[in-house]
Amino acid sequence: MQLLRLWAAAGIFTLAACASAPVGGRAPAAIAFPVIGDIPYSDEDSYVLEEQIVPAVKAGGYPFVIHIGDYKSGGAPCTAEKDDAFAALIEEFAPVPVFYTPGDNEWTDCDRFEDPATGQPQSELARLDIIRTRYFKELVAAPEAMQATAQPDAPENVMWRYKRVRFATVHVVGTGNGRRAVAGDDPAEAGRRADAREAAARNWITAASAAAKTENAKALVIAMHADMTDVDNAVFGEPCAGAAAAREQRCDAFVALRAAVRDAAATFGGPTLLIHGDTAPFTLTQSFGGDEADNLWVLNAAGDHGVTAEGFHYGLQDSTLVEIRPGAAAPFSARGVAEGAPAD
């Protein structure tokens, strides 16, 4: 895959600077922020992240960064070294706050590998405890004006505001949101923990919508890892009960969560953007909400990418620059941070 061009970082910096100026003295200034996720999965990804994406983000002078998880490949063991590398990435952006929501690769899928201490599949629930302790023991250090707050029983769920836009990160991951392919834990306990996370996520989505409506926000942005449409058509709409060791659990783990997002957008009534990763297409669409919430856009962020057996490239090896233009007919736009390729 062709590497991203280094000169593009300078172009994005120019774009970000211009975006802050109203056009013709009338249009509202754009709010721009980067979204990183599903990278690095390879040495080439690491190069692109370190040499192209990070410099472009730092040069842009953005108010915050959203990270939607999967800071390592699902095909590599979950190790302290990978965690340290991600902590170093967060530190690289300081003092700019990084609002991180976990992906499945750093905890749910860790039981694909043996725990060296036991010879048994690694406990994904123990990994989640490590993630929460490592990255969420304290609230992200953000400017007081952002009014950042964490959900008490799920500290990885965070809300903040910036220039009259309400933002929220919500912990929802792939692999059936932790309900599928449970190899290193008791499935019954994994199911109980999944139920608790889902309830917390739904409550947080509802709370974000209520806050946006109360404060008459210009827009609402919800960020999570999982692509909640990535469900087998044969079981789409059939809720899960508990968790299972089976790789292909025959249910839809996202029924209630999709409804919560649609309801949140409908209740708020203003422009609403759901950002996620987890799958490859780099797209910005407006069909998720249907007739119930035609004010809802969905961004499948850049990061996940690859080449098919037939040699076709898919996805985008980059991160995403999101722009919000309150009051515009198309209030949301997205392009690659380093290369500038627009979302489809």
User: Per-residue pLDDT for 18 more than 60?
Assistant: no
pLDDT interval class at 50 (50, 70, 90): very high
3-state secondary structure of 66: strand
The mean predicted confidence, pLDDT, of the chain is: 91
Distance of CA 34 to the CA centre of its chain: 11
User: Per-residue pLDDT for 82 more than 50?
Assistant: yes
pLDDT value at position 27?
57
| Residue 221 · residue 168 · CB < 8 Å | yes
Query: Which helix (DSSP H) or strand (DSSP E) does residue 229 occupy?
Result: none
User: Per-residue pLDDT for 246 more than 50?
Assistant: yes
- Weakest-pLDDT range from 83-92, 130-139, 235-244, 307-316: 307-316
Within 10 Å of residue 191's Cβ, how many Cβ atoms?
A: 19
* DSSP code of residue 111: G
CA–CA dist 165, 169 (Å, integer): 13
Kindly state the average pLDDT of the residues 253-272: 97
pLDDT interval class at 28 (50, 70, 90): low
CA–CA dist 224, 288 (Å, integer): 15
Query: Which CATH number fits the domain 7-336, given the four candidates 2.50.20, 3.40.50, 3.60.21, 3.30.40?
Result: 3.60.21
pLDDT value at position 165?
98
How is the chain split into domains, by residue range?
Answer: 7-336
CA–CA dist 260, 245 (Å, integer): 27
pLDDT value at position 26?
55
- Weakest-pLDDT range from 72-86, 205-219, 243-257: 243-257
Bridge pairing between strands 149-151 and 98-100: unpaired
CA distances in angstroms from 1 to 75, 135, 305, 309, listed in the order given: 19, 32, 10, 14
Tokens of 21: 């100026």
Kindly state the average pLDDT of the residues 166-171: 99
User: Per-residue pLDDT for 249 more than 90?
Assistant: no
pLDDT interval class at 250 (50, 70, 90): confident
H-state helical runs in 164-276:
174-178, 187-214, 255-268
CA–CA dist 321, 338 (Å, integer): 9
